[in-house]
Structure 1
Amino acid sequence: MNGPTTQEAEELLRTAASVYADDPAAMAVIGKLEQRLSEPLRLAIAGMVKAGKSTLLNAMLGEQIAPTDAGECTRVVTWYRYSPTPSITMHLNNGETRRMPVHRERGRLALGLGGLPAEDVQWLEVGWPLDALRSVILIDTPGMASMSKEISLRATRFLTGEEEPSSADAVIYLMRHLHASDVAFLEAFRDTAPGGGQTVCAVGVLSRSDEIGSGRIDSLLSAAKVARRYEHEADLASLVLGVIPVAGLVAEGARTLRESEYIAFRQLAALDRVEREKLFVSADRFVADTATTTLSATVRSDLVSRFGIFGVRLATALIRGGTASSSELAEAMVQQSGLVQLQQFVRTQFRTRATTLKIRGVLLALDRLIRDNPRDGVDVIHAASERISASAHGLRELTLIASARSEGLPLTDQDSAEALRIVGGAGALPYLRLGAAEDADVTVLRELSGAALAHWRTLAESPLTSSAAIGVCRVVIRSLEALAADLGPDPAATAVAASEVAAADDPLGFADVVATGGPGDGRGQDAAEQSEKHKPRLGWKKKQKGLSAVTDRHPLG
């Protein structure tokens, strides 16, 4: 999608550097912003204490490198970024950095603070050779609403920009239940947008969702219903782009499944049904001494620790259903856990908007800088920042999504659902915006975008359309125009238009070849655009028939 580019933001930072060249503190801030633009998207994982943040992070990475116990490291913000070789660096409050040893304990990366109190450590940086970290930096934050006020403030300051701009571009927010403190944090993160615009850069995760149904095999179905209800909660609807139920422990266990664990699950699956159900009544019953199985209490305790009682039940049910190998079991459990849906959401909503979200962070930081350190020349910075912000259509899309979810749009239900989808409510990829199949070719996408553009232009020009609705139409039209530019012109339509131009310029047919380039190209492109504009709306009404159902389920679903 068209919008402000990294180059424009870099030029803005060069302008800021020229204004603050004699201010070392300001230059340090600008240097960090330059680094931010060149790095992958920064995705923070936040939530209350014991929400399962580190467990989810391990599941997303497919390795057990984030500490999940209540040690000192969970009291410190920890960054996980790509590195060719494993490394751990501790950044202290006094500006000092220390390289820490890298070693594992019982399969997990051992993170420590070298005997220092957490209060002396600003943040930890873990470099790890994982392809998943090439396109995103994951940031694990301390639990909010902690018993320790200082720990809670660490996460709040880092993410909401109370004292300095947020260091995160987007947030995965975990919650076991919806509390007022969850809403307060998400409001603070949303309101960090430059210029007061309320952009939404967060997704809610109903964590530990396998516990919602007391570990029953249908627990995730119950969790999905709760997540859908939360999505429509008045307090939450405008703060997150969606709510996804995830069984983090199941996902982490599946991503790191060992062959020995698969063998143990097979033994459990082979038990008599009545005996197996007695064993699975509760976690306590499962780990107690019994003659029902030859698996030792230690092995069973490890299984519950790694997968939870729900995960144990799920694994045995899948094996009894025909899962024939450890790799098949791992894949099936990951699918059931909700992790795949979350990863897809992150890809379609955040990673596709990475440039826009990073520039958003830069604009916010520069706004704070010139407000706190006014001097001659800042007007130039402010004007350039305003120009970039005005061209950041992706931010207007996110603002419209927030408005649609909290207040609704001044359109019919069908047009509201369509508008929300086109601006990226279901994801920013072209096929998602246009309601097409994932494997739809570019010709189909061009037809759909052309038909949609004609519809929204007609609606915007109608004398019956309210001024508020026209404002929505303009955002939708801008999204469609950018999408059409990304898809490129229809080669067939361009060729036909070019031949018509040639015939008009050479009515006697003397020219055998129409040269490419030059003014003729521009005329052909205009003709192609007009052709697209007046094409029959191929398949569009068929696509629209399903929009009411989508709205009933959830506009972002």
Structure 2
Amino acid sequence: MRRVGIGEIAGVVSQARDLYADDPAAIELLDAYDRRLNEPLRLAVAGVVKAGKSTLLNALIGEQVAPTDAGECTKLVVWYRYSLTPRVTVHLADGRTERLPVRRSDGALELDLGSIDIDEVGWIDVAWPSEHLRTTVLIDTPGIASLSAATSLRTTRFLTPDHRPSDADAIIYLLRHIHASDVAFLEAFRDTVAGSSHTVNAVGLLSRADEIGSGRIDSLISAARIAERYRRDGELRALTLGVIPVAGLLAEGARTLRESEFIAFRALAALTREQRERLFVSVDRFTRASADTDLSVSVRQRLLARFGLFGVRLGVALVRGGAHTSSELAERMIAQSGLIDVQRFVADQFRSRVAALKARTVLDGVTDLLREKPRAGATGVRIAIERVSLTAHDLRELALLAQLRTSVSALQPEDEAEAERIVGGAGDSASARLGLSDLATKADVREATAQRLAHWRMLEQSPLNDRTTTQTCRVVARSLEAIASEVGAAHPGGSGSDIMPSR
């Protein structure tokens, strides 16, 4: 299977630059596309006000760098990218830039605009030495459906611009319940990105999932059931690739757990069952003066602010269950928070196809430029765009994935579900595409590939197909042929004892 390469897309941009050499605005746009092609995945975090965006972003970065209070910087688009040294730069609307001092308070980065008027700011760029930013540029956006129209408008303009592709390659959208504003925003993002770029590249997170069960230990189990219902049956199916429950506050607290906090958890774990039950009955009871614990009210208030009542209960249970060090407790908390599921989803669905996502966006952007500013001699650029679009199979997979999610198919329901999975709807590895265990061997993959390929070739040849169904079957069969080539299915004498690697 021929996958699109960043180099050939850069070649298209270079051709367009020659064509528009005398147009400064066009050159500026094409330069931006070039920079985009050379960057890691751009992943935006969006959602309604107080959905927990900045908290999740801190958990993904592994440090408290995104402001979570109601300060001015939470009303702006803020980019977080990797750098060897910390640096904060304000990009003003008029094109100028200003550097901000890098200051931390109680371990958290402080973003203070000082004398800069917020209305003059376009966006803020934070360069930070976190290993988690090496492969992903994370973008924090202001809450939509804000009481401030200007605040919501900044996110809308950034993620769903009217006359150009979105600056984000993919989006994590946080929601607490499905509201009309959530659906409307995701539809706009799909129409901006999927409508032109032929892909669905959003994932929904059921944020603050620990609050669904009023902070009970089994809250995330209840949240998982709700998320699965949204994923299968709700309006979100056509708008996102999945819905994942996550306890963002727990994830942030665990990723930044301090030794003093572990000591406090250990002290709570040493209490009797009756004492713990009295303390944990409610937020009010946990933070009032009590003879049941020697921990001060201020210490308990800080624990609650950092982890929530669910996180405190869970932390104590994990310490009692054998988490003997702060690192062990942090690891087990992270495993319970849903953060690993989010990271795995981003890796499987977005980073694994980042070249295709960027290629589709840049090709659409150059196509729009050719249409808006027609030039003699543009035929060569158009031919290059068409050649890439027609020959890169991963772009066809993205188009089919969007089609299966957003329109009615003539396939049988079980074939439709399998088609979605084979073109990468559940992940990009061969085992994920075939619905096999991650421990599947090459022999398992070869056998499953041969069976499914025969099935889809037969479907492709059915005289009852309409044109769309035949094209769908052809794309699915081509994806299976690529897997067969990868595992040597055409050479049955090969060894099949080793575990399949990711693609």
- The two structures have a TM-score, normalised by structure 1, of 0.85
Q: How far has the Cα of 1:295 moved from its partner?
A: 0.2
Q: How far has the Cα of 1:161 moved from its partner?
A: 2.1
Q: Does 1:322 align with 2:353?
A: no
Q: Structure 2 CA distance, aligned partners of 1:254 and 1:429?
A: 29
Partner of 1:546: none
Q: Structure 1 CA distance, aligned partners of 2:494 and 2:463?
A: 33
Q: Provide closer, same or farther for how the CA distance between residues 179 and 399 of structure 1 changes in structure 2, counting only shifts above 3 A.
A: farther
The 3-state SS of whatever aligns with 2:22 is: coil
Q: Structure 1 CA distance, aligned partners of 2:234 and 2:471?
A: 23
Q: Provide closer, same or farther for how the CA distance between residues 494 and 432 of structure 1 changes in structure 2, counting only shifts above 3 A.
A: closer
Partner of 2:371: 371
Q: How far has the Cα of 1:288 moved from its partner?
A: 0.8
Q: Provide closer, same or farther for how the CA distance between residues 399 and 21 of structure 1 changes in structure 2, counting only shifts above 3 A.
A: same
Partner of 1:552: none
Q: How far has the Cα of 1:389 moved from its partner?
A: 2.4
Counterparts of 1:193-272 in structure 2, within 5 Å, are: 193=193, 196=196, 198-272=198-272
- Output the amino acid matched with 1:12: V
Partner of 1:292: 292
Q: Structure 1 CA distance, aligned partners of 2:170 and 2:448?
A: 30
| Contact 1:59 1:251 (C-alpha < 8 Å) held by counterparts | yes
Q: Does 1:439 align with 2:439?
A: yes
Q: Structure 2 CA distance, aligned partners of 1:25 and 1:269?
A: 63
Q: CA RMSD in A?
A: 2.2
Partner of 1:67: 67
Q: Structure 1 CA distance, aligned partners of 2:5 and 2:488?
A: 19
| Contact 2:488 2:494 (C-alpha < 8 Å) held by counterparts | no
The 3-state SS of whatever aligns with 1:126 is: strand
Q: How far has the Cα of 1:90 moved from its partner?
A: 1.2
The 3-state SS of whatever aligns with 1:95 is: coil
Question: Which shows bigger deviation, 464-473 or 242-251?
Answer: 464-473
| Contact 2:205 2:246 (C-alpha < 8 Å) held by counterparts | yes
| Contact 2:484 2:490 (C-alpha < 8 Å) held by counterparts | no
Q: Structure 1 CA distance, aligned partners of 2:449 and 2:402?
A: 23
1:447-496 deviation digits (Å, cap 9, x = unpaired): 4323322221122223455554323211201212233344456666489x
- Output the amino acid matched with 1:271: L
Q: Structure 1 CA distance, aligned partners of 2:92 and 2:304?
A: 37
Q: How far has the Cα of 1:123 moved from its partner?
A: 1.0
| Contact 1:315 1:329 (C-alpha < 8 Å) held by counterparts | yes
Partner of 1:164: 164
Q: How far has the Cα of 1:269 moved from its partner?
A: 1.5
| Contact 1:88 1:126 (C-alpha < 8 Å) held by counterparts | yes
1:397-452 deviation digits (Å, cap 9, x = unpaired): 33433443455543334333322221111111222112233233444433432332
Q: Structure 2 CA distance, aligned partners of 1:400 and 1:143?
A: 31
| Contact 1:238 1:403 (C-alpha < 8 Å) held by counterparts | no
Q: Does 1:33 align with 2:17?
A: no
| Contact 1:352 1:429 (C-alpha < 8 Å) held by counterparts | no
Q: How far has the Cα of 1:181 moved from its partner?
A: 1.2
Q: Provide closer, same or farther for how the CA distance between residues 145 and 411 of structure 1 changes in structure 2, counting only shifts above 3 A.
A: same
Q: Structure 2 CA distance, aligned partners of 1:356 and 1:122?
A: 28
The 3-state SS of whatever aligns with 1:423 is: helix
- Output the amino acid matched with 1:420: E
Q: Provide closer, same or farther for how the CA distance between residues 86 and 491 of structure 1 changes in structure 2, counting only shifts above 3 A.
A: farther
Q: Structure 2 CA distance, aligned partners of 1:409 and 1:3?
A: 26
Q: How far has the Cα of 1:254 moved from its partner?
A: 0.6
Q: Provide closer, same or farther for how the CA distance between residues 395 and 160 of structure 1 changes in structure 2, counting only shifts above 3 A.
A: farther
| Contact 1:157 1:164 (C-alpha < 8 Å) held by counterparts | no
Q: How far has the Cα of 1:351 moved from its partner?
A: 0.6
Q: Structure 2 CA distance, aligned partners of 1:193 and 1:486?
A: 31
1:39-73 deviation digits (Å, cap 9, x = unpaired): 11111101111111110001011111111111111
Partner of 1:129: 129
Partner of 2:417: 417
Partner of 1:537: none
Partner of 1:102: 102
Partner of 1:360: 360
1:251-296 deviation digits (Å, cap 9, x = unpaired): 0001111111111111111212122112112112111111110000
Question: Which shows bigger deviation, 387-396 or 63-72?
Answer: 387-396
| Contact 1:88 1:101 (C-alpha < 8 Å) held by counterparts | yes
Partner of 1:381: 381
1:210-260 deviation digits (Å, cap 9, x = unpaired): 111111221111111111121134422111000001000000001111111
Q: Structure 1 CA distance, aligned partners of 2:463 and 2:164?
A: 47
Q: How far has the Cα of 1:38 moved from its partner?
A: 0.9
Q: Structure 2 CA distance, aligned partners of 1:475 and 1:99?
A: 49
1:190-225 deviation digits (Å, cap 9, x = unpaired): 122477464200000011111111112211111111
Partner of 2:142: 142
| Contact 2:48 2:144 (C-alpha < 8 Å) held by counterparts | yes
Q: Structure 1 CA distance, aligned partners of 2:100 and 2:278?
A: 47
Q: Structure 1 CA distance, aligned partners of 2:376 and 2:283?
A: 67
Taking only the aligned residue pairs, the percentage that are identical comes to 56
The 3-state SS of whatever aligns with 2:186 is: helix
- Bigger Rg, structure 1 or 2: 1
Q: Structure 2 CA distance, aligned partners of 1:118 and 1:388?
A: 42
Q: Does 1:111 align with 2:125?
A: no
Q: How far has the Cα of 1:349 moved from its partner?
A: 0.4
Q: How far has the Cα of 1:330 moved from its partner?
A: 1.0
In structure 2, stretches of 5+ residues that fail to align are 497-503
- Output the amino acid matched with 2:91: H
Q: Structure 2 CA distance, aligned partners of 1:93 and 1:164?
A: 18
| Contact 2:197 2:361 (C-alpha < 8 Å) held by counterparts | no
- Output the amino acid matched with 1:285: R
Q: Structure 2 CA distance, aligned partners of 1:53 and 1:124?
A: 16
Q: How far has the Cα of 1:392 moved from its partner?
A: 4.1
- Output the amino acid matched with 2:315: A
| Contact 1:157 1:163 (C-alpha < 8 Å) held by counterparts | no
Partner of 2:187: 187
